[in-house]
A = this chain, B = another copy of it.
Amino acid sequence: MRKKRPTMGDVARLSGVSQTTVSFVINNTPNTNISKKTRAAVLKAVKQLGYTPNAMAIGLRTSQSRVIGLVTDEIATTPFAGKIVQGAQDAAREEQRLLILMNSGKDASVEDEEIDTLLGRQVDGVIFATMRHRIIEPSHLLYQIPAVLLNCRDVDSTLPSVIPDEYLGGYQATEALLQSNHRCIGMINTSENVPASQLREQGFRQALADHGIPLEESMIVYGEDGIAKTGYDGAKVLLSRYERMTALFCFNDRVAMGAYDALRQLHKRIPQDVAVIGFDNYEVISANLHPQLTTMQLPHYEMGRWAVETVLNISKSAAEDRASPPMMLPCPLVLRSSV
């Protein structure tokens, strides 16, 4: 048997009383009619077992809720939910809060219903998280409670929000290629109207401009979506257009996965003939590709932490103080073997 931390239930069993009685004794609850003998038995069991009250449980007794609600739009279909939830959970635990997780499946009426339920539960705050970085119109219910947007923001920044710094990530990915002496660099992007596509490309363009590297428009190709096929098709097009191209900045790791396939078919070695850099650090891909993929890491864990810490601070400040520009967290470079 593994070593167990003694619990209130253990104390109850050893002293032969109910868990409620143990709780009354430990908390010195007034007006409970507990006999001296029972009290002594409980305290003896506490000592004998080395029982210490659960810090979190103590926290819970001192407040009405101590719960934070995390409403997400599509947890099941994305690989990133785990790290967001993990970051939020770790921070909630440190702040002695529990995390209620709800999923709205991108349905605005379900979303409202869920937030309404959380309001009814008097949660300390609500975090509304999207799995893809996007601009949203927040539910009006989020203005009735401390609320933080995670991986999304509203156009006017009327709610605090935390997002990845996609522009800086694109800039730094390009710089990583430039530092390895690449001078003819292509980008395989998606044509989606989303911040990630637009800002990563802006960062790419600016980094080249800042280093005096000329960019032809046909050095950027676009697929419909951030999937492997986009990378496969994109790499084939770029390398047929530019024989001298030695590096590819891929919109994300899945696109890079497809680019790998194309490069193999073209008998190009990675990174000796063509370097590849991805984005997201979606580890199941990036760490399993051959060679392992150098990429920019989305700060999902850190965003989860920031959101919890921020939503708890809001509850202490006035609602009109809420509006602020989005907090942009950097996307660090993860060096592996493809650059």
Give me 6 other A-B pairs in contact (C-beta within 8 A), A89-B101, A98-B102 excluded.
Answer: A7-B116, A75-B82, A75-B89, A76-B82, A76-B86, A228-B288
Chain B residues with Cβ below 8 Å from A36 are: none
Do B288 and A258 touch (CB < 8 A)? yes
Contact B100 A98 (CB under 8 A): yes
A57 to chain B, nearest CB (A): 4
Chain A 73-86 per-residue mask, 1 if CB under 8 angstroms from chain B, else 0: 00111110111011
State whether the Cβ of A139 lies closer than 8 Å to any Cβ in chain B: yes
A318 sits at the interface (CB 8 A): no
- Cβ proximity bits A242-260 to B, threshold 8 Å, 1 near / 0 not: 0000000000001001100
Number of copies of this kind of chain in the complex: 2
**A117 x B98 contact (CB < 8 A):** yes
Report which of B1, B77, B86, B289 forms a contact with A82, defined as CB distance below 8 A: B77
Which residues of chain B are within 8 angstroms of A37 by Cβ–Cβ distance? none
25 contacts between A and B (CB under 8 A): A2-B137, A3-B108, A4-B112, A4-B139, A5-B109, A9-B141, A54-B113, A54-B116, A75-B82, A75-B85, A76-B86, A77-B82, A78-B82, A79-B79, A98-B100, A98-B102, A98-B117, A98-B121, A100-B101, A101-B101, A227-B287, A228-B289, A228-B290, A254-B288, A264-B264
Q: Which of B139, B254, B289 contacts A284 (CB 8 A)?
A: B254
A101 proximity list for chain B (CB < 8 A): 85, 89, 99-101
Q: Which of B57, B89, B117, B137 contacts A57 (CB 8 A)?
A: B117
Interface assignment of A211: CB less than 8 Å from any CB of chain B: no
A8 proximal to B (CB < 8 A): yes
From the candidates B1, B116, B285, name the one contacting A285 in the complex (CB within 8 A).
B285
Cβ–Cβ contact B75 & A86, under 8 A: yes
A53 CB to closest chain B CB (Å) equals 10
A117 & B56 in contact (Cβ 8 Å cutoff): yes
| Closest Cβ–Cβ distance, residue A264 to chain B (whole Å) | 6
